[in-house]
Amino acid sequence: MIQAIGLTSIARKEQPPAVDDVSFEAHAGRVTALLGAPGAGKTTALRLMLELQRGRGITYFRGRPLHRIPHPAHEVGVLLGDVPGHPARSVRGHLRMLCAASGVPARRADEVLQAVGLVSLRDERLGTLSRGMDRRLGLACALLPDPHTLVLDDPARGLAVGERRWLHDMLREHAAQGGTVLCSTADPKEATRFADHVVTLAGGRVVADQRAADFARTRLRPRVVVRTPHAARLSVLLAQRARSAQRSVEVVREGGNRLCVYGSTCAEVGETAFRNGIVVHQLADEVGDMGPGAGTGAEPSTAPEFQLPPAAVYVRSGHDAKPEAAAAVHEPEVAATPGSGAEPGFPPSAPETGAEASPSTSAPEAGAEPEASVSASDSDPEREPSAPALAPAPEFAPESALAPAPAASSLPGPPQEASGDRTCQAAPPHRPTTPRPTTVTLPPPVLVRSAPTPLRPVRYELRRAAGVATGYIVGACVLAVSALAAVVLARIGHTPQPRLLAAWPVELPLPPAALGAGLLGALAFGDEFRHPALAVDRGTVPRRLGLLTAKLFVASLTALALAVLTVGCTAEVLYLVYGSELVALPEDWPALTAGWLALVTGCAWAGVLAAGVFRSTTAGLAAVVAVPLLVVPAVHTFSERPSTRGPAPFAERLRDGLPLRWPFGGEQHLEALLRLLAQPVGGAMALSVLALLCAYAFTGLRSRFR
């Protein structure tokens, strides 16, 4: 069960907040739809619930806020927007990486792929998937840790009819097994197709909180859509026929050659057009949307508030409607009643939204013939329609709300609904007792979860780094550039041998190997901030000490391998081109080797920490480049400045070593470290890494205790 209480986003400048005091509940065993037009605040509300955006309010998932759940990914499965995986990563490799991050066995990836129907595409790259397959992969990522709750942000956007039906069946199956499903959508018809409960947002506020059946009865209304080049003439003819037949009909001109006829049928409209020689380009049944505030006012649920006179015919122009006027009174073009002339005036209607705006019709007054009138209760989804032609077409019929009368008898009464809302157990969904058979199957539950081990983040980091070719491409480019630079420097001359082996020109602040290691370190962060399956952890996944240690460890191994390969390849190329004179082993090779490995590893660590602090790969690489350009000159100026208490500067005192000897030896290693720090680049790199570690710890503590 989800309980959202007082969700309010932080307003920017003088603009109102995108979400203002939003409170609702989503019960277990039901599919809850968060409905709203684009810009109504659906995505902001979901991000506030998942604590991915700062604001006020709190959300309880089965009685606990998200930051109090030890492993949020095991409780909540999330799909926000598109799957932001690397385009070059394979489908199976992507899921196996998330398995390592979520702490579930790697075989879980194959089980989820089997459930969502992507087994045949498991070796495909993410960048080659179609829209429907991408949605299936996103649902697979949400189902991977076997969560109890699913939070999906408009998952059916852009899908075909078959893909939508499959997605809806998967959501219903998850709810039928006792799970909680919260899914946002912008289509009210789609909300009635798959949801058991509908929460409507408008302007960042909750304007309706209804069962799907009540939502369909108060907001959706069947109509006939006509397109004809003689729209004005056809509207007058329909008004005349309705007047003579004592029918309550409303004709809405929606601009151009489009008419929306309420209270009539396709047969009647088509017959009228045929008898009068009017060409019809389109004639179809639809379900009109009456706007987010329809049925949410003070009117009772059994009868509309505004009653139309018997056999009234209304013809008006839809392009004059203003969606922001919630209760505006519109002037009709033609308003006629039997026995009297045309009378101006039109009863107040529900809010209208775009081309599907439709005012509500009401039941005729007492004394009118039942078979000659069309009342608003005829569109009640819980009652049998008085005329079969008034029912919406099958392709627009809601699967749950617009049900026939026998299925409506199976709906629980008010006492049962009230008792079900107070419990967190799986409540029976408000659907017919004989649901439409489906062939979808959820992946098997995860019965045994592995205990947290230090190898889990290392396994995740290795799969993340090895799953794409970026690291290999960067390493190959570094080796090629280093070998070419070493050959050119040897040809020019005047380059010391250590710098020649490292392919480090004097004019460059850092060698290519150090820059490549910094870039690979900066690429270590990114998936944890973007991917929905990891975003549930409040963005604090990178703040965990185990994952940070794993990233630093893998980055160190990558940097060391790159440093060794660079020197080896450079030496081999120099030997092949110039002979063995330039590849002789220097006398102080241990100190030079230690300094070289420390420099490359420090660049990799700086890239990792800077990318984690600023959440940007560019910022990580910029921090690596800033060390020799900004920090090294500052450290060199400080270390070479004479001391006020002696003539020797600070760097020279570090190079002299320790004045005292330790009784157990080992001081030579400490002296080597001090001499390494006495170098401007070594000292600058050490200071930069220390500062980034402090910043990383500060941001992690701030995000934990805010």
Alpha carbon distance 329, 344 (integer Å): 11
Residue 656 lies in a domain: yes
Q: What pLDDT does residue 638 have?
A: 62
What distances in angstroms separate CA 251 from CA 262, 318, 334, one per listed residue? 6, 9, 10
Residue 633 lies in a domain: yes
Q: What pLDDT does residue 570 have?
A: 93
Q: Are 250 and 183 contained in the same domain?
A: no
Q: Where is average pLDDT lowest: 118-132, 466-480, 523-537, 594-608?
A: 523-537
Q: Are 644 and 554 contained in the same domain?
A: yes
Residue 407 lies in a domain: no
Alpha carbon distance 583, 567 (integer Å): 10
Q: Are 79 and 122 contained in the same domain?
A: yes
Cβ–Cβ under 8 Å, residues 440 and 95: no
Strands (DSSP E) contained in 433-549 are none
Residue 438 lies in a domain: no
Q: Are 524 and 599 contained in the same domain?
A: yes
CATH of the domain at 101: 3.40.50.300
Answer with the one of 168, 203, 238 that is the final residue of a domain. 203
Cβ–Cβ under 8 Å, residues 33 and 191: yes
Alpha carbon distance 128, 83 (integer Å): 13
Residue 425 lies in a domain: no
Q: Are 493 and 379 contained in the same domain?
A: no
Task: Tell me the mean pLDDT in the region 540-545.
Answer: 50
Burial code (b: 16+ CB inside 10 Å, e: under 16) for 367-399 equals ebeeeebbbbbbbbbbeebeeeebbbeeebbbb
Answer with the one of 203, 229, 255 that is the final residue of a domain. 203
Mean pLDDT of the chain: 74
Cβ–Cβ under 8 Å, residues 280 and 228: yes
**Cα torsion angle, 42, 45, 49, 50, sign:** positive
Q: What are φ and ψ of residue 132, in 5° steps?
A: -65, -40
pLDDT top residue among 270 and 369: 270
Q: Are 460 and 366 contained in the same domain?
A: no
Q: Are 560 and 657 contained in the same domain?
A: yes
What are the residue ranges of helices labelled H in 579-631? 589-614, 617-626
Q: Are 486 and 345 contained in the same domain?
A: no
Range of the domain at 171: 2-203
DSSP state of 630: I
Within a 10 A sphere around the Cβ of 597, how many other Cβ atoms? 16
Q: What are φ and ψ of residue 359, in 5° steps?
A: -70, 160
Q: What pLDDT does residue 92 have?
A: 94
Q: Are 244 and 385 contained in the same domain?
A: yes
Residue 486 lies in a domain: yes
Tens-place pLDDT, residues 587-605:
878 878 888 888 899 899 9
Residue 287's nearest CA partner among 371, 212, 398 is 398
Number of domains in the chain: 3
User: Residue 613's Cα: distance from chain center in Å?
Assistant: 22
Q: Are 137 and 51 contained in the same domain?
A: yes
Tens-place pLDDT, residues 15-52:
889 999 999 999 999 999 999 999 899 999 999 998 88
What are the residue ranges of helices labelled H in 117-244? 131-143, 161-176, 188-194, 212-219, 231-244
Q: What pLDDT does residue 402 have?
A: 37
Report the percent of the chain where pLDDT is more than 70: 68
Q: Are 197 and 243 contained in the same domain?
A: no
Residue 342 in 3-state DSSP? strand
Alpha carbon distance 133, 142 (integer Å): 14
Q: What pLDDT does residue 202 have?
A: 92
Q: Are 165 and 255 contained in the same domain?
A: no
Residue 412's nearest CA partner among 12, 30, 14 is 30
Rounded to two decimals, the pTM is 0.69
Residue 272 lies in a domain: yes
Residue 150 lies in a domain: yes
pLDDT top residue among 584 and 141: 141
Tens-place pLDDT, residues 602-655:
899 999 988 888 878 888 888 888 877 777 677 656 655 555 555 555 555 555
Q: Give the pairing type, strands 282-289 and 249-253.
A: unpaired
